[in-house]
Amino acid sequence: MEVYVNDKPVHLLPGMTVKHALTHAGLIEKLGSGKKVYDEWANELGLDGALSEGAKIFVR
Amino acid sequence: MKKWPTAALCPLFVFLLSIQAYAQSFDLRILHVNDLHGFAEAYKPLGSREPLGGVAYLAGRVNALRRGQPTLVLAAGDMIQGNNWANMSQGESVIEAMNAMQFDVMVLGNHEFDFGQAVLKKRISEAAFPVLCANVEGLDRVKPFIIKEWSGVRVGIIGVVTEETPVATHPRNVSGLTFLPVAETVEKSVRDLKNRADMIIVLSHIGHAADRALAETVKGIDVIVGGHSHTRIPRPVRVGDTLIVQAWEHGKALGVLDLTIRDGRVVGYDGRLEAIKPQPGSEDPKILAIVERQRQRVDRILNDRIGEAMIDLDGENVRKRETNLGNFIADIMRQVSKADAALINGGTIRTNISRGEVRIKDVYSVLPFDNYIVAITLTGKAIAEALEHGVSGIEEGEGRFPQVSGLTFAYAPSAPKGSRIGEILIAGKPLDPGREYSVATNDFLAVGGDGYRSFAEAVKSSKTFSVVGGTLQGEKVVYSDSGRWLRDVVVEYIREKETIAPGSEGRIVERP
């Protein structure tokens, strides 16, 4: 499936989660420095959260 | 005095009662959690300065909030699998805690299937509350919906799980089950409940985006209590006439939704998330006792002897050379996934196993991360690139150094980065750059972790997935089991073999 991290496409296997998307995008380390992950409606997401095709998530 | 016949009075009485119920407003409180994943104890999430969660503290808050008013306590799926506290009892500990907390109803999440159907049926039989799943056919004991009633107000609760469950857990866990489309299933259930319920709640484990789409598609849903996407929704979201809520994950928050219902309609609402923190005195002692007792059980299980190592297993040098422990784990991954080869990053392996008795905790110390096995089809060229990348950080002791199975390779650590790899053999034959091979790895590398882009590129070109012959398959994916951690696969293997003595076999040859 294709999801978007900070507007950049990332390809994942079914069953993969926010954690996998951030690893792919090289952003997982950012969370240790206080950044958080949000969905397109500005809701915070947990790292084990499921993603669906076309999901847009943001690290900020 | 003339008396009315009793039989004539009864319908009139019921009618008057129902009129009264409709005329008055009724306040209903919904308390909800989702995606607990067995996190019974508080922990400090990545980036957080304080511990959050703890089911004893969650229970304490539930007790306080349900006191003195009609309340529904709902679980929106993925409750029983994830953390060791739950996994060691295959979710039994979670059901025990949920029974003691007097949950009213739960919907199945995709991870409820991870221990297999026999275990799931046992957990359902142990639950003192109904378990819902309207869109799964073939699973006994689950209900599509239930109806709860207070003072003549009837609340229908429909449960649905993600349609992607068959590709999100190992196919054997859902063998023989049919997962129906969510929207059509809910639409049908809403129709079935039309004259039997005054309001409809959908207890969903489909993710927040899908919840919003469901609210737009299916009319007649008053509230969707969601899970699956681990979304922290601080206030209820309104989509059309439907309220949508979700309470993050791991019991770090409790969702509270207060509804005012009149004439079968929600005429007022107020909702919030309450952070759950382990503050002494706020816990439910009964639940705390369950958590402690089950934790002691986990400790005992972790001490279980599963086999014997006839030699020391080297987990220390996995970032700079082939080791027998690296070989052992890579061999298991290759064998389980039936791949041609296996490649993992040495950094996955964190410590040694000493000669002698092997206990579960030893394996858990070696493999502390929540990784699972994935097998991906790579070209010979991509395998060579992956190995080249793997040996490119040896000077710095980087965790990307490969441990392999099913293949051998030579490399020159003193050569410039990018041109260190020499001859590569797979099954004893020279690697063919144009041929495709299946390669087992872990989910971390599969998405490009530690810089392994070869796997990520292959995943990118594998666009569609389906279950074929009992296995998840895509163009480039031949195996994926997100419901079973690699460490548990290794534990099972050692338990089966009883004695282990893996060697270093010259799979990775250092050349000057």
pLDDT digits (tens, 9 = 90+) for B189-239: 999 999 999 999 999 999 999 999 999 999 999 999 999 999 999 999 999
B276 and B165, same structural domain? yes
Angle among Cα B201, B140, B481 to the nearest 5 degrees reads 85
* Averaged pLDDT for residues B14-23: 47
Confidence of residue B183 (pLDDT cuts 50, 70, 90): very high
Residue B146, pLDDT score: 98
CATH number of the CATH domain containing B253: 3.60.21.10
B404 and B257, same structural domain? no
B317 and B260, same structural domain? no
Q: Which residues contact B342 (CB under 8 A, 6 or more apart)?
A: B330, B331, B333, B334, B404, B405, B406, B439, B440, B441
B363 and B272, same structural domain? no
Confidence of residue B8 (pLDDT cuts 50, 70, 90): very low
B332 and B279, same structural domain? no
Domain count across chain B: 2
Biggest alpha carbon–alpha carbon distance for chain B: 115
Interface check for B399 against chain A (CB to CB < 8 A): the answer is: no
Q: Give domain status of residue B19, yes or no.
A: no
ipTM surpasses cut 0.95: yes
B293 and B309, same structural domain? no
Residue ending a domain, among B299, B330, B355, is B299
Q: Give domain status of residue B401, yes or no.
A: yes
Burial of B234 (0-12, 13-18, 19+ CB in 10 A): middle
B361 and B269, same structural domain? no
Q: Give domain status of residue B340, yes or no.
A: yes
CATH number of the CATH domain containing A28: 3.10.20
B49 and B187, same structural domain? yes
B355 and B278, same structural domain? no
Confidence of residue B473 (pLDDT cuts 50, 70, 90): low
Inform me whether the pLDDT recorded for A34 exceeds 90. no
Residue B382, pLDDT score: 96
Inform me whether the pLDDT recorded for B7 exceeds 90. no
Q: Give domain status of residue B7, yes or no.
A: no
Inform me whether the pLDDT recorded for B187 exceeds 50. yes
Residue B354, pLDDT score: 95
Residues of A in contact with B37 (CB under 8 A): 48
Domain count across chain A: 1
Residues of B in contact with A42 (CB under 8 A): none
Residue ending a domain, among B299, B327, B357, is B299
Q: Give domain status of residue B290, yes or no.
A: yes
Q: Do B82 and A52 touch (CB under 8 A)?
A: no
Q: Give domain status of residue B137, yes or no.
A: yes
Confidence of residue B457 (pLDDT cuts 50, 70, 90): confident
Q: Do A46 and B232 touch (CB under 8 A)?
A: yes
Residue B436, pLDDT score: 95
User: Which 3 state secondary structure label does DSSP give B41?
Assistant: coil
With beta carbons less than 8 A apart as the criterion, state whether B289 and B474 touch. Answer: no
Q: In what order do the strands lie in the sheet with B402-405?
A: B402-405, B341-345, B436-442, B373-379, B477-480
Q: Which residue of A has its CA nearest to B231?
A: A45
Interface check for B249 against chain A (CB to CB < 8 A): the answer is: yes
B79 and B49, same structural domain? yes
Alpha-carbon distance B229 to B206, whole Å?
A: 8
Structural domain span for residue A19: 2-59
Residues of A in contact with B443 (CB under 8 A): 13, 16, 20
Q: Which residues contact B200 (CB under 8 A, 6 or more apart)?
A: B155, B156, B157, B158, B190, B193, B220, B221, B222, B223
Q: Give domain status of residue B11, yes or no.
A: no
Q: Do A14 and B168 touch (CB under 8 A)?
A: yes
Residue A12: name the closest of B214, B462, B265 by CA. Answer: B462
* Averaged pLDDT for residues B33-60: 95
Residue B9, pLDDT score: 45
Alpha-carbon distance A32 to A36, whole Å?
A: 9
Structural domain span for residue B153: 25-299
B384 and B280, same structural domain? no
Residue ending a domain, among B299, B323, B356, is B299
Q: Choose the weakest-confidence range: B160-174, B207-221, B230-244, B334-348.
A: B160-174
CATH number of the CATH domain containing B354: 3.90.780.10
Q: Give domain status of residue B110, yes or no.
A: yes
In eight-state DSSP terms, residue B288 is H
Q: Which residue of B has its CA nearest to A18?
A: B229
